[in-house]
Amino acid sequence: MEKVQYKNVVFTVWDVGGQEKLRPLWRHYFNNTDALIFVVDSLDRERIQRAKDEFNSIINDPFMKNSAILVFANKQDMKGALTAAEIAEGLGLSDLRGRRWHCQSAVATQGLGLYEGLDWLSGTLKTMQSRGVKTSVGTSGAKGTNFSAAGVKKSIMSFF
């Protein structure tokens, strides 16, 4: 767990990784999660269906039903990489109803696209909060959405 501040939003981040043996444990992190950051290797065309299956198993969990979704289409600098639009299509993002999502082109090793994605996410979470849209679902108060003098505190999960 790590706390990251971006602009006036404090994110509590759990990088739960993409290792297959850890996947059954992911659901233990869903309680009170406001947003999901899902990173896709855009060069790995053969595994986009697998990524879609994993993505859907996460977003369809009852604890994740209100969370905002940011997808980073990583490795955009590599020849033959799927575009962000192709990643969005491959994950079925346009089929999501009642969900706030964004697919951002990125080159993580160079920091390209990361700030744009985080700008979208922080703005979306603030808008949802100001409109009274509940972003997290859960029973414990350990990781809820809170306002403080420093800004909005959010719990997010990232999958790499």
Is residue 5 flagged as an active site residue?
Answer: no
Burial of residue 121 (CB within 10 Å: 0-12, 13-18, 19+) is buried
Question: Could you tell me the pTM of the whole model?
Answer: 0.82
Q: Which domains does the chain have, with CATH numbers?
A: 2-159 (3.40.50.300)
Q: Tell me, what's the pLDDT at 31? A: 77
User: Of residues 19, 49, 104, 129, which has the active-site annotation?
Assistant: 19
pLDDT, mean over the chain: 81
The single-letter code of the amino acid at 67 is S
pLDDT tens-digit map of 56-105:
988 998 888 889 999 999 999 999 999 999 999 999 999 999 899 999 99
